[in-house]
Each structure stands twice: as C-alpha cells, then as structure tokens.
C-alpha cells in the first residue's frame, strides 16, 4: 500500500551541499576507533560516504536545497563499544560555529535548511539514559535544523517535529551471508534473544524497558511457544528465519536493531514500545507487516499472537518477502535503489520547497547559542 512512496526516486528532486570539515570532526575519529563502522550508530559514517558520491550532491552551494554537516558524533566509544555522549554536543557546536563563520548559508536560516545525522540513543539529546537526555534536551542550536535520527517516540522532548526517523545500522553483508533457503519451514512460533533485566544499570529491575522485557520473561519463560533466552547463539540470524514472530520490545530506548533484523529475515516484528515512531513511517506500511502490543498487554502476548488468523499471518509474510521492504531498512555498500540512504533523501525531498518563513530577516536571531548545560558550552 505504500509502494509508490517506498520506491520514490529522489534524484532530480533535490540538491545537497556537503560541507568540507577538518578531519578531526569525522575521519580522524574513525581512524582512532574502527569499531564505529559496525556498531548500530554507524549510519552517520555511511551517510557521509554515500553523499560524497551521490547524484544529488552539488558542489555549488548557491543551488543547494539542503546542507549537510558530516560529524561523527557517536564514534567516541567506551571499551565496551558504546558511544560516550559527553563530547558530542561540544563537537556539534564547534562544527556549527565553523560553518556559520566560514559560509553564509547557516546564518540565513539558523539551520532550517540544514540536516544532521544524530544516531545517539536519544538523538540530539545526546545521552543513553532517558532522564539525562530529557534534562539536556535537544541541543539548542539544532532546534531549527532537520534531524535524521534513530530515536523516535511521540510527544518526546528528544524528537523534533519534522525529524526523519531512520533504522539503526545492521551489517548488510553479514546478514546476506547468513540467509537460509526461503522455503525452510518456520518452526519457531515466537523468538527473542536479549536482556530481560539490565542488572548493571537498573538493579531493582523496574525501569529497564519500563518493565516490558521483565514481563515477557516472567510470563513466558516456560511457555513452549516462546523460544526466549538471554543467550546469543551463533545461529541467531538463522533462527530468526525459522521463526514466525520476532519480539521487538523497547530497551533503554524504544528502538533496537531487532526491528531491522526481523524485516530482513521475514519474521513478523512484534513491536512492544508505546508511542514509538518507526523508521520511514510514511513509506513502510508498519501496521500491515507488524504486530503492535501495548506494554501493559505483555502478559497476554500468548493469547494475542495465537488469535491472529493464519491468512493474516500469511499476508504479513508475503509483504515482508517484498525485496523493497527489506532494502529500505539497510545501508548497503554499494548502495541500491530504494535503500535506507535513498529513503532519507526521499524524506528530505518531501520537505521541499522550504517555506519562506525559514529565511531570517537581516539581523534577526531566533536561536540562543549560550543556552544549555555548562559542559556542553565548553570548547571542543
């Protein structure tokens, strides 16, 4: 039902100017830690590479519809591979100070015709803990820009109206290499591998995933229809291809790579995350390919899933088998028509033309550069 939008071609409908920044904002950070290329926040790196050779790129900023500032804000990693949030706001502020003083384009709109890829757990709030993210809020100088972000939750301070919500990065080559024959029987009814409790960060067990994952474990750990565990087997990808339903519950944030994996492997995603804003929701018919279960209804998961008629399951599986649906969730190299890169460009194209109200009058200022936590204002 969303095929026309899903298969839009952005070429010829927009032009993007890519700022050339000193390598300390991007390439040098990656050289220091190549793990950034494979973690679920890697969209910022691959989007930069894609745009450098994309037919929508223009070398003439005067004809650009959009301006892109390539900053690798999640590539400062802890020993366990998680992005530190502390330097990101300072890095972004520094880059914006640079482009606003070196080119005239930011100052015309205070960023309204600029977009930034901000794939942190809570996007441009730059934190992995929700309370801290809400406390900081979206970096003030990004509030007129368009944010391309993995985080999406309705009525949340970390989601701007007009943001483009994207899937997290999942390794396309690795997933392609683990495909099994498509006629393999789906002998697993419900599948999930992952944490049910985060004992390190939530020792009392009531806050992580708002209790939804704990409820899955407590209610269904002994149910033979549910193949659920904290273990991550080497056959994980193959198992998903043998499953009918794959649970996609929220964690610390509402999204996770499981959503991408489920779609790519044709496993019906069971989305347990109230108020989630899903990737490319104007192009992908999520209601038709997935099952939505309210967090409070997790104890009834068995009844909900066993009551879905076989013809509905088959229809969802047929839709998931559509190659365009899978392609839209991935960032492949080389790129493919209709992939996640193109869906981002489609989203930008659908926001054109910019209304005249985005252009400021001479001397007019809307954004306050000096607001925000003291640590975010330090030089980078």
- Omega prior to 303 cis, within 30 of 0: no
Return d(Cα 167, Cα 279) in angstroms, integer. 5
Share of the chain above pLDDT 70, in %: 98
173 pLDDT more than 60: yes
Helices 43-52 and 340-349, axial angle in degrees (round to 10)? 70
| CB-based contacts of 7, cutoff 8 Å, min separation 6 | 324, 337, 338
Q: Is 213 helix (H, G, I), strand (E, B) or coil?
A: helix
- Omega prior to 334 cis, within 30 of 0: yes
Looking at 53-103, list the stretches that DSSP marks H as alpha helix, in order from N- to C-terminal side.
Answer: 88-102
Q: Is 67 helix (H, G, I), strand (E, B) or coil?
A: strand
Return d(Cα 35, Cα 80) in angstroms, integer. 10
Mean pLDDT of the chain: 94
Return d(Cα 288, Cα 300) in angstroms, integer. 21
pLDDT of res. 86: 85
Q: Is 125 helix (H, G, I), strand (E, B) or coil?
A: helix
Mean pLDDT of 350-358: 94
1 pLDDT more than 60: no
**Sign, CA torsion 275/279/282/283:** negative
Return d(Cα 280, Cα 226) in angstroms, integer. 30
Looking at 178-300, list the stretches that DSSP marks H as alpha helix, in order from N- to C-terminal side.
Answer: 212-220, 236-241, 258-264, 286-289
41-50, 66-75, 365-374: segment of lowest average pLDDT: 365-374
- With CA atoms as reference, report the closest residue to 98 among 367, 333, 373, 380: 380
| CB-based contacts of 142, cutoff 8 Å, min separation 6 | 92, 111, 116, 118, 124
pLDDT of res. 219: 97
308 pLDDT more than 80: yes
Mean pLDDT of 286-313: 97
Detail the DSSP E strand segments found in the chain: 16-18, 66-68, 114-117, 146-149, 164-165, 188-193, 226-229, 243-249, 268-272, 291-292
Q: Is 146 helix (H, G, I), strand (E, B) or coil?
A: strand
The bridge status of strand 243-249 relative to strand 226-229 is: unpaired
Give 334's pLDDT tier (boundaries 50, 70, 90).
Answer: very high
Share of the chain above pLDDT 90, in %: 84
pLDDT of res. 84: 86
What CATH topology corresponds to 172-329? Rossmann fold (3.40.50)
Mean pLDDT of 150-171: 95
- With CA atoms as reference, report the closest residue to 359 among 104, 73, 102, 2: 104
Return d(Cα 283, Cα 24) in angstroms, integer. 35
Return d(Cα 248, Cα 380) in angstroms, integer. 37
Q: What is the CB neighbour count within 10 angstroms for residue 159?
A: 22
Residues constituting the chain: 380
pLDDT of res. 205: 63
**Sign, CA torsion 167/173/174/179:** positive
Return d(Cα 312, Cα 325) in angstroms, integer. 18
Residues of the chain with CATH 3.40.50: 172-329
Give 204's pLDDT tier (boundaries 50, 70, 90).
Answer: low
Cβ atoms of 70 and 21 closer than 8 Å: yes
pLDDT of res. 329: 96
2 pLDDT more than 60: no
Under the phi-then-psi rule, with left for phi > 0, alpha for psi from -120 to 50, and beta for the rest, what region is 280? left
pLDDT of res. 3: 58
Q: Phi and psi of 232, rounded to 5°? A: -115, 95
The pLDDT tens digits for 60-89 are 999 999 999 999 999 989 888 888 888 999
The pLDDT tens digits for 220-264 are 999 999 999 999 899 999 999 999 999 999 998 899 899 999 999
Strand arrangement of the beta sheet that strand 291-292 belongs to: 226-229, 188-193, 243-249, 268-272, 291-292
The bridge status of strand 164-165 relative to strand 268-272 is: unpaired
pLDDT of res. 165: 97
Q: Is 276 helix (H, G, I), strand (E, B) or coil?
A: strand
CA torsion 295→316→320→348, rounded to 10°? -60
């Amino acid at each position: 039902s969303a095929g026309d939008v899903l298969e839009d071609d952005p070429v010829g409908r927009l032009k993007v100017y890519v700022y050339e920044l000193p390598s300390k904002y991007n390439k040098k950070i990656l050289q220091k830690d190549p793990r950034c290329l494979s973690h679920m926040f890697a969209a910022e790196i691959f989007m930069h590479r894609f745009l450098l050779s994309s037919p929508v790129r223009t070398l003439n900023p005067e004809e650009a519809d959009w301006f892109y500032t390539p900053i690798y804000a999640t590539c400062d990693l802890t020993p366990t591979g998680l992005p530190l949030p502390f330097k990101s706001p300072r890095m972004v502020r520094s880059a914006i100070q640079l482009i606003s003083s070196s080119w005239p384009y930011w100052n015309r709109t205070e960023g309204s015709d600029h977009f930034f890829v901000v794939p942190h757990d809570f996007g441009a709030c730059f934190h992995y803990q929700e309370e801290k993210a809400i406390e900081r809020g979206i970096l003030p100088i990004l509030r007129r820009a368009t944010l391309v972000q993995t985080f999406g939750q309705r009525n949340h301070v970390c989601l701007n109206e007009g943001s483009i919500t994207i899937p997290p990065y999942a390794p396309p080559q690795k997933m392609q290499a683990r495909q099994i024959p498509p006629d393999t029987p789906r002998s697993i009814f419900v599948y999930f591998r992952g944490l049910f409790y985060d004992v390190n960060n939530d020792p009392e067990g009531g806050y992580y995933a708002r209790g939804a994952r704990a409820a899955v474990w407590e209610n269904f750990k002994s149910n033979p229809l549910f193949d659920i565990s904290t273990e991550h087997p080497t056959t994980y990808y193959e198992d998903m291809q043998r499953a009918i339903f794959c649970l996609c519950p929220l964690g610390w944030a509402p999204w996770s790579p499981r959503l991408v994996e489920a779609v790519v492997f044709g496993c019906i995603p069971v989305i347990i995350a109230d108020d989630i804003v899903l990737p490319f929701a104007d192009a992908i018919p999520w209601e038709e390919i997935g099952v939505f279960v309210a967090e409070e209804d997790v104890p009834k998961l068995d009844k909900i899933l066993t009551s879905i008629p076989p013809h509905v399951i088959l229809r969802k599986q047929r839709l998931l088998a559509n190659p365009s649906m899978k392609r839209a969730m991935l960032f492949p190299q080389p790129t493919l028509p209709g992939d996640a890169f193109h869906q981002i460009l489609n989203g930008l194209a659908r926001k054109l033309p910019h209304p005249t109200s985005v252009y400021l009058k001479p001397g007019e200022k809307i954004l306050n550069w000096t607001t925000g936590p003291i640590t975010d204002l330090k030089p980078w």
